[in-house]
Amino acid sequence: MNTKLFCDRDVPCRAGDPRCHLATLSLLLVTHWLTNCYFLECPGGVGNHWFNMSLASILPAEAIGNAIRECQAPESFCHKKFFQLCGLTSKSPQDVKVIFSILDNDGSGFIEEEELKFFLQRFSPNARILTENETKKFLLAADEDNDGKIGAEEFQLMVLS
């Protein structure tokens, strides 16, 4: 992986360095993956493979690709059509919650407007970002309690209704 890691000795570490504590190094690797790779392009590529495997274990890659292709043009995103094409609407409530947790980039328990604009990129790193108008429409469609963010229950209701 093309990243510098620091152990509890505050010096650059490498996996296998006997002077570094394995637990600290492991925590740093996981933190790096979550913050730099999980939803973003990672120079080492590790995070993208982990991310794709997570979605691919729930949704077929071909279906995700079809859904992304249908909304390539700006202002063409329709959440209902996207959910249908990628196969999300036929999934169990438990699967929908797992996907919600993947989409909740910061782990806050909510998908905020800033996260929502990168919604398509969560499914495919090379997809476009949603326009401001698409993001606002998407948020309004799901935000039942008008708190400006989408909770897990709101997301599940939107997907499965």
Distance CA 83, CA 114 (A): 20
Q: If you average pLDDT over every residue of the chain, what do you get?
A: 77
Same domain, 50 and 63: no
72, 130: one domain: yes
Binding residues: 104, 106, 108, 110, 115, 143, 145, 147, 149, 154
Q: Are 130 and 149 in contact (CB under 8 A)?
A: no
Residue 144 in tokens: 């039942």
- Binding-site positions for Ca(2+): 104, 106, 108, 110, 115, 143, 145, 147, 149, 154
Q: What is the C-alpha separation between 145 and 158, in angstroms, rounded?
A: 13
From residue 32, alpha-carbon distances to 4, 86, 93 in Å are 10, 29, 30
- What are 33-78's pLDDT values in tens digits? 444 444 444 433 333 333 444 677 789 999 999 999 999 999 999 9
Instruction: Tell me, yes or no, whether 80 and 63 share the same domain.
Output: yes
Instruction: Count structural domains, the chain.
Output: 2
Q: Provide the residue range defining the domain that includes 73.
A: 59-160
Supply the CATH number for residue 136's domain. Answer: 1.10.238.10
DSSP 56-105: HTTS-HHHHHHHHHHT-STT---HHHHHHHHTGGGS-HHHHHHHHHHH-T
If asked whether residues 77 and 136 sit together in one domain, one would say yes
pTM higher than 0.75? no
Confidence check: pLDDT of 27 > 70: no
| 14 and 87 fall within a common domain | no
